[in-house]
Chain A
Amino acid sequence: MRAPLIWFGLVAALGLGCKDDGKSDEGSDDGGSPLGDDGTGDDGTGDGADGGDDSGDPACWVASDIGDCWDCALPEAPESDSLKALNQCNTTGYVVFDNSERIPASTWVEGDPLPALP
């Protein structure tokens, strides 16, 4: 049932491209502005539909806002890093949400533990 290579091919066939920098759209978000103005999510940041190796990176690396990089492939086993999957490359259906802008710093600062309920 688990066939990552087949899956990867399917993703490529679907045309899922790569977002090469999670911060590249910083500043465009007011907490609600879709990157894709036509609803397709095509924001022009995609660098290819084949996994993104045309950027020169060997495995479609994606810069993460939390300081790491993720590639486009899904984990092969359930206990492997799920964040990698969640941050896989995709140019469809996303908006950048800026917690630091939406949430007042007096309440919570990005990176800190969320405040305990009263």
Chain B
Amino acid sequence: MHSPTPRRGRAAARAALVAVAVLCPLTAAAQDTLPCDEISSGAPIVYGAGGSAQTPLVSKAAVVLQGSDDPVYVVYKDDAGACSGIYALTALGPTTITGTAKYWAADGTQLSCALPLEGEEVDFASMGNGPYLCPLVTDAAYLEGITEVTGPISSVNVLVPNASTQQSISAEAFYLVYGFGAPAGVAPWVNTDPSYYIRRNENSYVQLYLSLATGLPVTRYTGVDAGSNTNSVAWLSALADPEAGISFASGEVADANRATVRTLAWQQTGQNAAYWPDSSATAFDKINVRTGLYYLWGPGRFYGLAGDTDGSFADPATEVLLNFFAGVSAPAGASKTITEVAIANKNVPDCAMYVTRDGDLGPLYAYAPAEPCHCAFEAAATGATTCATCDDATPCADGTCRNGYCEEY
């Protein structure tokens, strides 16, 4: 958390920014952008950095927390890849964020604020992968003094434009397509124009996961770096020949753009078939993520500087945010739980999973959440469930009444 009170030197830095804006009309627009430390009317602000794949979840959590009885505001910078956040906390990269960053109005509208010229220290990191997939995190010692929590489950989705006829891809085909490009001859992804192979970079969660799944070195992807998950979708949908285009993004970004792009079923090496994340290309039940058949998934990871006790955070406001992501606690007056936020964001809450795994794309094993929410998830995500409804006046004939539905236990 950073105090909204300007730090020493910030006023001078801002004056310098204004001077530059006066001298250069092209930067005048930045002058009109609200300084980030003025967005909260004095309430604590938590500054984060990390992946654009997590931006939709961060935004929804931010809206909930800033509307709670003790508001916490979130400013998030997502244009340097997933690993940028953990690099900042570990001092493996810049420890501050500069330029502009995202924040959100009470209705969820995304806004941009101006960070001070000297930069703002990063309070939390957010990414879909574990830290050891980030190229610079080569030793556990780097993570000393940092606390990690995990949040809702997200998937990595390989995408084609809706106009494409393709439905599936295997890990081997992905390796060849992105490793060799057109010369691999994996039809229909054989266009010699690199812009038809839309990728990210070695600091991107989605690219790191696909490399882990396929064996393709993360720095050896052919094609063009879209810069963000949102751009990965936008660039793909703008291609002149949709049949030849391919891209990838996080599941929540993919699902938010189903009007233009479609997720391919994924066949991991050794699998008999390719699976969609959902029961079909058009469903939202995430059943194949929840049962582990869709291979490319993992929990969101959130990091902050550790506090004095195990699992705690040094900064109280950061702790509020990260405990909310983890489902440990929600502040008084919060309008939604993390489960509700996850469902709204097309993520899978932990309580709706049938499997779990250790580490990034690690082996699967059965999982029975302490307080399952399969019925509530299906009802909210798909609009329908076969589970019986229940309340105090109408108890369950079998199972346990949770969230208004009869769960198995």
Provide the residues of chain A in CB contact with B273, threshold 8 Å. 19, 22, 94-97
Query: B357–A94 contact, CB under 8 A?
Result: no
B170-206 residues with Cβ-Cβ distance < 8 A to A are: 170, 172-173, 175-176, 179-180, 184-187
Given known A64-B272, A75-B364, A96-B274, contact A102–B354 (CB-CB < 8 A): no
Q: Can you name 15 extra interface pairs (CB under 8 A) apart from A86-B271, A97-B265, A103-B176?
A: A4-B366, A6-B409, A9-B408, A13-B408, A31-B168, A34-B280, A40-B279, A74-B354, A74-B365, A75-B365, A78-B363, A82-B362, A87-B272, A92-B287, A93-B287
Query: A41–B365 contact, CB under 8 A?
Result: no
The count of residues in chain A whose C-beta lies closer than 8 Å to any C-beta of chain B is 61
**Chain B 262-299 interface mask (CB, 8 Å, partner A; 1/0):** 00010110111111111111110001100111110000
Query: A93–B369 contact, CB under 8 A?
Result: no
Provide the residues of chain B in CB contact with A94, threshold 8 Å. 265, 273-276, 288, 293
Please report the number of residue pairs spanning A and B whose Cβ atoms sit closer than 8 angstroms. 188
Tell me, yes or no, whether B256 is within 8 Å of chain A by CB: no
Seen from chain B, the residues whose Cβ lies within 8 Å of a Cβ on chain A are 165-170, 172-173, 175-176, 179-180, 184-187, 215-217, 220, 265, 267-268, 270-283, 287-288, 291-295, 354-358, 362-370, 372, 374, 408-409
**Chain A 29-65 interface mask (CB, 8 Å, partner B; 1/0):** 0011110100111000000000000000000001011
Complex Cα distance, B179 from A102, in Å, reads: 16
Complex Cα distance, B268 from A31, in Å, reads: 15
Query: B279–A41 contact, CB under 8 A?
Result: yes
Residue among A32, A64, A79 having the largest count of chain B Cβ atoms under 10 Å: A32
Provide the residues of chain A in CB contact with B295, threshold 8 Å. 86
Provide the residues of chain B in CB contact with A2, threshold 8 Å. 365-368
**Chain A 59-87 interface mask (CB, 8 Å, partner B; 1/0):** 00010111000000111111111110111
Nearest to A116 among chain B residues (CB) is B179
Provide the residues of chain A in CB contact with B268, threshold 8 Å. 86
Query: A74–B366 contact, CB under 8 A?
Result: yes
Nearest to B188 among chain A residues (CB) is A31
Query: A7–B354 contact, CB under 8 A?
Result: yes
Complex Cα distance, B176 from A22, in Å, reads: 24
Secondary structure of the B side of the interface? loop
Complex Cα distance, B283 from A39, in Å, reads: 8
- Determine how close the nearest CB of chain B comes to the CB of A39; give it in whole angstroms: 4
Pairs A–B under 8 Å by Cβ, sample size 14: A1-B369, A6-B408, A14-B287, A31-B187, A32-B166, A64-B272, A82-B364, A93-B280, A93-B294, A95-B168, A97-B173, A99-B172, A102-B186, A114-B176
Complex Cα distance, B185 from A103, in Å, reads: 7
Given known A80-B363, A86-B292, A107-B185, contact A74–B265 (CB-CB < 8 A): no
Nearest to B217 among chain A residues (CB) is A117
Complex Cα distance, B278 from A4, in Å, reads: 22
Complex Cα distance, B362 from A78, in Å, reads: 8
Which of B167, B175, B277, B366 interacts with A34 by CB under 8 Å? Answer: B167
Given known A31-B166, A97-B265, A108-B176, contact A117–B220 (CB-CB < 8 A): yes
Query: A76–B185 contact, CB under 8 A?
Result: no
Residue among B276, B369, B370 having the largest count of chain A Cβ atoms under 10 Å: B276
Complex Cα distance, B367 from A41, in Å, reads: 24
Provide the residues of chain B in CB contact with A103, threshold 8 Å. 172-173, 176, 184-186
Provide the residues of chain B in CB contact with A73, threshold 8 Å. 366
- Determine how close the nearest CB of chain A comes to the CB of B341; give it in whole angstroms: 22
Complex Cα distance, B357 from A64, in Å, reads: 23
Nearest to A29 among chain B residues (CB) is B168
Query: B367–A93 contact, CB under 8 A?
Result: no
Provide the residues of chain A in CB contact with B270, threshold 8 Å. 66, 83, 86-87
- Determine how close the nearest CB of chain B comes to the CB of A101; give it in whole angstroms: 10
